[in-house]
Amino acid sequence: MTSNFTWVDGGIVGLYLLATMIVGVAIRRYVTRVEDFIVARREMDVYLGIASLAATEFGIVTCMYASQAGYTRGFAGAIPGICNAIAMAVIGYTGFCVKKLRDSGVMTIPELFEQRYGKFVRWLSGVVIVLGGLLNMGVFLRGGGQFQVVCCGMNIRSLENAMTVLLIGVAVYTILGGMLSVLVTDFLQFVVMSAGLLLVTFLVLGKVGWGSLTAAVDTHYGAGGFNPFVAKGLGWPFVLSNLLTNTAAVLTWQTCIARLLAAKDSRTGRKVYTGTAFFFVCRWVIPGIWGIAALAIVAPGVLAPIGLQFGEKDASLFAMPYLLSQLVPAGMMGILVAAMLAADMSTDSSYMLTWGSVIYNDILAPFRRTAWSERKGILWNRFIVALIGVFLLFWGLWYKLEGNLWEYLQTTGTIYLASMSILLIACCYWRRANNWGAIAGIIVGAALPVLALSLNLFVEVRVPVLDETGNQIIQEGQALTQAVGLARHYVGDNFVNIGTYALVAVAMVVGSLLKPPARSA
Amino acid sequence: HPFWASLTVAVLVWYSTVTIYVAIKGIGDIRRMLRRLSDSKDAGSGVAS
């Protein structure tokens, strides 16, 4: 693979990485308590919160799946971003759940659950949050490494080295400075990332043109490329599934909630939500345009060999990085790679820290017989973040994606999003909610997505490959078929998702009503 | 395609303007946060929650 990445670009990237490391490590002297490490002593104000949340929720993996959506679905692929922005704006404006959550003064959601559902539910919630989160973030590093290899024309064997170096850099300042380092480096990354994204987008629009974008979508996807309700394979289940996922994510996704809980008060946290809402449209539309540009000018035959090199079944993931490797000139390539590394570092650091805080605060809680000193607490938090880093490295190297990246992230996220969001709503607004309902909801919420993932991974069905007119493709006298996961073929990812939310709600209500009321003394 | 065209333009305008505003205000937020942390650094129970 050739690319326009030169030593000048390498210098720009190196300088940026060095600056980030120095700033991140310098912040460590402010960390004296566990509260500093996990929630920045709740000193975060509105604009730092907006910059931090916008940077955290835009990683290379975000860019990869959003551009894949643009490449494979046209403009309709940006619907999840619109759903996310609507959910965030409405929840921020109304304070639905998040006001009560922040006012409670907890450091994590399971800590709030203990007040309502008891210690066991707190511990169990911590377990499913960590399980769903780790499976989700496990693909981040691989996506980031693949982008660098394709975009910079790096040797494929350098992928592991690139991933390792990137992770060590992020882990060092996250381990030392916790949330304080994450917030300050996020801010730096927000500025670098935004500048790079804008420059590249104007370059793409200038070189490809608006007309070519719409023509490409029209040619490949027709009306469905602009309207998800009439798109093949999308329709209302896709929109509803994304609305549910994104609402639940705004309420309970660790990286989002960490900003709310690090805010000075609930009013500040809500302002961070409303102020960040439109950035969630940007994070789908900007890479989506890059993906559509790839659809317009990249020959599909170029992508298949790239996919094979990585052992990935779906080569559409590499359309955008390949486009950028050919389109972005030397010099500007350094700015692009620095911007993308900025995006990835802010994401990785925040994910490691916020999921680590659940392990410390909620999973280890029953094992702390006596109160720990601040020093011991910080040491354990640092150790946990380092362990998550090691997990990310090995999972990122081992796991190969079976299908669409966003659908994978949605399904693994649902392992806890469905149950935690419904438990949180019930905790805040339903007096009859109790630990029976909570446990039933958690079990159902985790079991269904895990079952669907397992069926897709281990049981495949052969289905005919159809051309654009819906006719079966025949090659050398034989019908062409492809392997599809069992749950994906018979149920579909979107219905698995919608069904999980519905059944968790039923489990929560039925479980709570079945528990006999406590007898008064 | 008025919806997607206007949304794309809105995204580009937003990213070109609001980002700069957030960045400028964010610097003030960081300075205030670090100052408050410095002031309270010398003030604790020594026990983690």
- Shortest CA distance to A194 belongs to which of A50, A326, A72, A294? A50
Mark yes or no for CB contact A197/B15 under 8 Å.
yes
C-alpha neighbours within 13 Å on the C-beta side of residue A206: 8
CB pairs under 8 A between A and B: 104
Rounded to a whole number, what is the distance in Å from the CA of B23 to chain A's nearest CA?
7
Does position A490 have pLDDT exceeding 50, yes or no? yes
Rounded to a whole number, what is the distance in Å from the CA of A269 to chain B's nearest CA?
14
Q: Average pLDDT in the A8-19 region?
A: 74
- With a CB cutoff of 8 Å and minimum separation 6, the contacts of A32 are A374, B41, B44
- Shortest CA distance to A324 belongs to which of A90, A3, A19, A42? A3
Mark yes or no for CB contact B34/A30 under 8 Å.
yes
Predicted confidence band of residue A488 (pLDDT cuts 50, 70, 90): low
Q: Which of A171-175, A327-331, A410-414 has the lowest mean pLDDT?
A: A410-414
Rounded to a whole number, what is the distance in Å from the CA of B26 to chain A's nearest CA?
5
Q: Which residue of B has its CA nearest to A217?
A: B1
Q: What pairing do the DSSP bridges indicate for beta strands A478-479 and A474-475?
A: antiparallel
Chain A environment of B15 (Cβ under 8 Å): 194, 197-198, 282, 286
Chain A environment of B41 (Cβ under 8 Å): 30, 32
- Shortest CA distance to A454 belongs to which of A429, A488, A426, A428? A488
Mark yes or no for CB contact B34/A190 under 8 Å.
no
Q: Which of A248-252, A399-403, A497-501 has the lowest mean pLDDT?
A: A399-403
For the stretch A337-381, pLDDT in tens is 788 777 877 788 888 888 898 998 888 877 776 777 877 888 888
Does position A12 have pLDDT exceeding 80, yes or no? no
Alpha-carbon gap, residue A287 to A339, rounded angstroms = 13
Give pLDDT, residue A478.
64
Mark yes or no for CB contact B22/A184 under 8 Å.
no
Q: Which residue of B has its CA nearest to A380?
A: B48
Q: Average pLDDT in the B12-38 region?
A: 86
Alpha-carbon gap, residue B43 to A286, rounded angstroms = 46
The highest-confidence range among A39-48, A245-254, A374-383, by mean pLDDT, is A245-254
Chain B environment of A272 (Cβ under 8 Å): none
Rounded to a whole number, what is the distance in Å from the CA of B17 to chain A's nearest CA?
11
Do residues A48 and A187 lie in contact, with contact meaning Cβ atoms separated by under 8 Å?
A: yes
Nearest to A374 among B18, B25, B48 (CB): B48
Give pLDDT, residue A59.
86
Chain A environment of B16 (Cβ under 8 Å): 198
